[in-house]
Amino acid sequence: MQTLYVELGDRRYPIFIGSQLDPEQLLGTYIPAKQVMIVTNDTVAPLYLARYTQALQQLGKTVAHCILPDGEKYKNIEHLNLIFDALLSAGFNRDCTVLALGGGVIGDMAGFAAASFQRGVYFVQVPTTLLSQVDSSVGGKTGINHPLGKNMIGAFKQPQAVLADMAQLSTLPPRELSAGLAEIIKYALLGDVDFLAWLEQHIEQLLAGDEALLAEAVYRSCAHKARIVANDEKEQGERALLNLGHTFGHAIESFLGYGVWLHGEAVATGMVMAADLSYRMGWIDADDLARTKNIIQRAGLPIACPQIPLEQFLEYMAHDKKVLNGQLRLVLLKRLGQAVITRDFDVEQMKHAILANQQGA
C-alpha cells in the first residue's frame, strides 16, 4: 500500500492506494462519528456493501445505507433528496459520517449531501471505479447536474480519507476502465510528459487490469492532483488546468444526455479538440497532435463525437464554469506536458476544431 496526503493544513487527509485494502484497519482513525451512512448504487451494493458494513460494525459504528440507481442520469436533485431522506429516517445527527461507496456519481452526490446535511458532516470516499479513484474522489468537488450544465450545483467538501483499492477494479466493464484512463492521460498531457511516455509503454497492460501498474498510474495521477489542490483548493487559478478537455467534453455530455457517453469518453474527445485547437494556434505540432490522438485511441476511447450542431455545442460551452465575466476560458496545450488556461484563442479556429472532430467530418 502507498499513501499520499492532500496538504490542506488542519484538513490534511490521506489517499490510500493498494490492493485488498482493509477498511476496518484504515478507516477507524478517520471516522470519528458513531453513525455512518453508506451511500452506494444498485451495481456496487451487491459487490461491496456487506464488506464495508461489517467492517464499520466491527469498529462499533451504527451503520445505515442508501442505495441509489446507477448512472449519470440520476445525478440530480431528486435523487440527492433520497440521501437526505435516508439520513433523516435513520435519525442521524450532525455527528455522523457519510461514506461514498461507488464511482464518481456516488462520490459527488454523497459529498454534496455531506456538505449540506445539518450544514456539514464528516465524509469519506471509497471510489470503486478507475475514473473516480484518479479524479472525483480527490479534491473536494461535489455536486449534481442541471439540464443546462454539468456539475452546476454543488459545494466544496473535502473527505476525511480516500481508499482506492485496485482489487475493486477487477469488476469494471472494459468501457469503464477506458473511461478512467482518459483522466489519467489528462494528467500526463497537462503536466508530465514523462508520465505520457510511461503510459504509452504500458497502456495495453493497464487495459488488461494489471493491478501493480494500475496502482502506479493511480498514485502518479493522484500525486498531481493532490499538489494542485493543495495550491488552489477553490479553483481560483491553477486548479482549472485539471479541466483539460472538460469544456468540450461537458458540452458533448449535455447535448447527448447525461450517461449516454461516459464522462471519460467525452473528456477524451474534448482533449482531442483542445489539442487540435492548440495545433491550429501553432503551440503544438502535427506529431504532438497525432501522439495525443494515438494514446487516446489505444486506451479504447473515442477521438470524435457524434454530429452536434455547432450553435448548440457553443451554447453548452457558454454555460461552462470557466466562463469569467462573460468570457470563455479554455485549457489548451503550450506543448505536451504543459497546459495553460487562456482567453487568448481564435473563436473561428475553435469552431473548426469542434467540427473537425465530429464523426463523419
Active site residues: 119, 141, 183, 225, 235, 239, 243, 246, 250, 263
Q: Which three cell numbers stand for residue 176?
A: 469503464
Planar angle of CA 269, 273, 275, nearest 5 degrees: 110
Nearest-CA neighbor of 108 among 145, 81, 162? 145
Q: Which three cell numbers stand for residue 261?
A: 457517453
Contacts of 311 (CB under 8 A, 6+ apart): none
Distance in angstroms (rounded) separating the CA atoms of residues 59 and 185: 38
Cell 459520517 -> residue: 97
Distance in angstroms (rounded) separating the CA atoms of residues 80 and 275: 36
Residue 122 burial by Cβ neighbours in a 10 Å radius (0-12, 13-18, 19+)? buried
Helices marked H in the chain: 23-27, 50-58, 77-89, 104-116, 130-131, 174-191, 193-207, 211-231, 246-256, 263-280, 286-298, 310-317, 347-356
Nearest-CA neighbor of 153 among 162, 143, 161, 168? 143
Provide the Cα torsion 339, 344, 348, 353; round to 10°. Answer: 0
Asked whether the beta carbons of 90 and 34 are under 8 A apart, the reply is: no
Q: Find residue 163's DSSP bridge partners.
A: 16
Distance in angstroms (rounded) separating the CA atoms of residues 120 and 162: 18
* DSSP 8-state secondary structure symbol assigned to residue 303: S
Distance in angstroms (rounded) separating the CA atoms of residues 333 and 335: 5
Helices marked H in 149-281: 174-191, 193-207, 211-231, 246-256, 263-280
Interstrand relation of 149-156 and 338-342 (parallel, antiparallel or unpaired) = unpaired
